[in-house]
Amino acid sequence: MQDTHLAALSPDLQMLYAAAVVARQNSYSPYSHFAVGAAVRTAEGRIYGGCNVENASYGLCCCGERNAIFAAVCAGERNLEAICVVADTEKPVSPCGACRQVMREFNIKTILLGNMAGAIKICTLEELLPYGFDL
């Protein structure tokens, strides 16, 4: 994993981060008050955002990462290259296990974990989920 800052990212990755920050504004998190935004980029450069959506029955909640990926899939996308997830945390936020496995399902190679202060960790799918379910 590589620690970096928003300013050191390529323009493409800065755009992905910005899209995740915008998506976070739509978070529906009245129970945890933990707003998460995510954005996924396709091989063609299209970006799809997602935010976490909670429910009083916690099992029915869906994370921002999965919502971003699912939005891309609903639009017919299958070739997903990069994802960024952000939250208002001290250190870059880390995805849950379910989100990690969904990232693996779509073979997302570049994963940015970020916070609202612009701290970023860049990692590969293998670093994030070394022993996921095989495809």
50: its two tokens: 């997602």
Strand partners, 32: none
Identity of the amino acid at 65: E
Whichever domain contains 72, its CATH number is: 3.40.140.10
User: How many domains does one find in the chain?
Assistant: 1
Residue at 71 is within a domain = yes
Q: What is the DSSP string of 26-74?
A: T-B-TTT---EEEEEEETTS-EEEEE-B--SSGGG-B-HHHHHHHHHHH
pTM of the model: 0.95
Radius of gyration over alpha carbons of the chain, in Å?
Answer: 14
Alpha carbons within 13 angstroms on the beta-carbon side of residue 96 total 10
Residue at 133 is within a domain = no
DSSP for residue 23: H
- pLDDT digit of tens for each residue in the chain (135 aa)? 889 898 999 999 999 999 999 999 999 999 999 999 999 999 999 999 999 999 999 899 999 999 999 999 999 999 999 999 999 999 999 999 999 999 999 999 999 999 999 999 999 999 999 888 875
Question: Which residues participate in catalysis according to the annotation?
Answer: 65
Strand partners, 115: 87
| Structural domain span for residue 11 | 2-128
Residue at 135 is within a domain = no
